[in-house]
Amino acid sequence: MGTSFTELVGCSVPIQQAPMGTVSSPDLVVAVADAGGVGTVSALGLPLDLLLRRLDGMRRRTSGVLSANVVTPDVDEGLLADVAARVRLVDFFWFDPSPRLVELAHRSGALVNWQVGSVAEARAAVDAGCDVVTVQGLEAGGHVRGATPLLPLLREVLDAVGVPVLAAGGISDGRAFTEVMTAGAAGARIGTRFLATTESGAHPAYKQAVVDAAGDCTVVTDAFAVCPLCATSPRARVLIAAVQRLAELDDDVVGTVAMGGARVPVGRGSGLPPVVGAEGHPDAMAMYAGAGVGSVTDVRPAAEVVAALMAEVERRQPAGGR
């Protein structure tokens, strides 16, 4: 299915796998890129040499479209240039659109996508020179930028900007995907559905908790606000079960995760999600999940997720997206 987004970035299906910190493992990113979507890695928290080696390694493994996510305005300009030279799309979130950072990414040959939570922010992103805007609705898993549900915000943003618009938040099945494409989105950015894949870096107990959760089992909370993003706005959508489990424990440290070759303690209320190898109480860590969690009923390979989403959107909306 061709859209203005697929034509611009050169992918074959209008799906971006959302950056999800350590959950968006290289295996997941490569699998989605191989399946024709955009595979996105998080640049957060990795030492520069490791990040660049990781990007080069992924590039060798796939000829698909790769993206790298940046969530801080204090990014080193040299690092941004090195990262942008290795991906088709640089993906920003959680701070005001910056013409300077957009220009730096462009100079290295990358396109720029900015995830926004309001119409005003979408306009600011386009004014800053962004090539793509992602509209994040209140339903989204992880840190939630705005306060408006996806479909009304998507319609408003589509009226306000002229660049390709992706929709994000609660899109975990073909029905929700078709809804946003029918509304005029050029594609979807999907996190939670890709969390429950064989390739994702989520801890097995986290994947299972997502599979077991019903649609009303998530909440926007500040319970896991010990994180750099929450320093400016402590709002993230997680599984309610994680908030409840944390409340049952008295511990100041709920476990450990492996990061950059070291074992890192996970303090009470830390924003670190439970990834493969997490020890202690992964069920009391930040189990981010979107409001579409109820339609995630199995853990399967990412390529199958992409194929199933595409089969359903093509069946329901054979004419394609905008």
Ligand X SMILES: Cc1cc2nc3c(=O)[nH]c(=O)nc-3n(C[C@H](O)[C@H](O)[C@H](O)COP(=O)(O)O)c2cc1C
Q: Which of 11, 23, 111, 210 binds ligand X (CB under 6 A)?
A: 23
Helix (H) or strand (E) segment spanning residue 308: helix 302-316
Using the contact rule CB under 6 A, the part of the chain among 101-109, 120-128, 167-175, 302-310 near ligand X is 167-175
Is 190 an interacting residue with respect to ligand X (CB under 6 A)?
yes
Q: Show the site string, 64-103: x = touches ligand X by CB under 6 A, - = not.
A: -----x-x---------------------x----------
Describe the strand order of the beta sheet including 279-280 as a list of residue ranges: 262-267, 253-259, 279-280
Q: Which of 9, 15, 18, 154 binds ligand X (CB under 6 A)?
A: 18
Helix-then-strand count for the chain, H and E: 12, 14
- Cα gap 228→225, rounded to integer Å: 8
Using the contact rule CB under 6 A, the part of the chain among 6-14, 18-26, 58-66, 308-316 near ligand X is 18-26
Smallest distance, ligand X to C-beta of residue 192, A: 4
- Cα gap 39→174, rounded to integer Å: 19
Q: Which of 273, 274, 282, 321 binds ligand X (CB under 6 A)?
A: 273
Smallest distance, ligand X to C-beta of residue 250, A: 26
- Cα gap 47→185, rounded to integer Å: 35
Strands (E), the chain: 15-17, 38-42, 65-70, 89-93, 111-116, 132-136, 142-143, 165-168, 187-190, 218-221, 236-239, 253-259, 262-267, 279-280
The CA-based angle 182-91-23, given to 5 degrees, is: 90
Q: Which of 136, 178, 197, 270 binds ligand X (CB under 6 A)?
A: 136
Is 21 an interacting residue with respect to ligand X (CB under 6 A)?
yes
Using the contact rule CB under 6 A, the part of the chain among 98-106, 125-133, 191-199, 254-262 near ligand X is 191-199
Using the contact rule CB under 6 A, the part of the chain among 14-22, 97-105, 154-162, 257-265 near ligand X is 14-22
The answer to whether the beta carbons of residues 215 and 291 sit under 8 Å apart is yes
Smallest distance, ligand X to C-beta of residue 227, A: 10
Nearer of residues 144 and 250 to ligand X, judged by Cβ:
144
Neighbours of 217 (CB within 10 A): 17
Q: Which of 36, 97, 129, 191 binds ligand X (CB under 6 A)?
A: 191
Bridge partners, 20 (sequence order): 22
Q: Which residues bind ligand X (CB under 6 A)?
A: 18-21, 23, 42, 44, 69, 71, 93, 115, 136, 139-142, 168-171, 189-192, 195, 273, 288-290, 292
